[in-house]
């Protein structure tokens, strides 16, 4: 996994925005790219001048996720559960992951797409069950775009802040990547809880 992420980092470094677009796209059809490493690295490449714009880097990453999500949705919609059962193991998508995503769908509806954008593994496969469920494209793209924007922007900006020091702490990022994602999930959850509490107070 670490060697694969390193190869993709090299791709982003040498191919620039196209490399980032391709990497984020394949990460959204279930390929374990290590986005918690790739995205901060992209931010660091902006800080060092290899990529020219922080805004463009975030936009390219989000577009890549939308492209990959579109492919995943189409596979789920037209291939159905039979396709996932037959080929899902190639992208680490098994019945256990399918069941977890379906639980999210049952509890949160289309908003589950947004929530899954912040959960490792599920963020890369959530488009498949959305397609199988024939979720309306409007909510699918809306929540995918918003979730991807929050996730990508936060990690790219983190890498941008680290700048030239990114290479020094890269081993620590590999080691604590799940902790970084967990903190990001907690931050998003806290934001929505506080918004709900504020809305409840306004209604009183």
pLDDT digits (tens, 9 = 90+) for 151-202: 999 889 888 888 766 555 555 554 555 555 566 566 666 666 666 666 666 6
pLDDT at position 74 is: 94
Select from 104, 106, 107 the least CA-distant residue to 116. Answer: 104
Q: What is the average per-residue pLDDT within 19-30?
A: 91
- In the chain, domain spans: 2-203
Report H helices in 163-204.
Answer: 166-175, 177-203
44: its two tokens? 């660091």
> At which residue do the structure tokens 């496969």 appear?
125
Least confident of 12-16, 52-56, 179-183: 179-183
Select from 55, 65, 78 the least CA-distant residue to 27. Answer: 65
Cα–Cα distance between 56 and 13 in angstroms, integer?
Answer: 15
Q: What is the average per-residue pLDDT within 20-49?
A: 87
- The pTM assigned to this predicted structure is 0.77
Residues 116 and 101: beta-carbon distance below 8 Å: yes
pLDDT at position 64 is: 96
């Amino acid at each position: 996994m670490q060697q694969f992420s390193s190869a993709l980092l090299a791709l982003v470094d040498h191919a620039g925005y196209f490399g980032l677009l391709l990497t984020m796209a394949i990460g959204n059809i279930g390929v374990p790219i290590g986005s918690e490493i790739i995205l901060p690295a992209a931010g660091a490449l902006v800080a060092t001048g290899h990529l020219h714009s922080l805004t463009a880097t975030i936009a390219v990453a989000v577009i890549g996720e939308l492209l990959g999500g579109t492919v995943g949705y189409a596979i789920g919609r037209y291939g159905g559960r039979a396709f996932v059962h037959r080929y899902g193991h190639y992208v680490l998508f098994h019945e256990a992951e399918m069941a977890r995503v379906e639980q999210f769908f049952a509890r949160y509806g289309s908003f589950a797409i947004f929530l899954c954008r912040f959960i490792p593994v599920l963020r890369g496969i959530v488009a498949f069950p959305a397609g199988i469920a024939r979720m309306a494209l409007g909510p699918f793209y809306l929540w995918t775009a918003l979730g991807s924007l929050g996730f990508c922007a936060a990690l790219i900006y983190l890498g941008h802040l680290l700048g030239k020091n990114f290479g020094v702490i890269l081993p620590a990022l590999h080691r604590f990547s799940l902790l970084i994602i967990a903190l990001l999930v907690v931050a998003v959850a806290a934001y929505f809880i506080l918004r709900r509490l504020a809305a409840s107070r306004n209604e009183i």
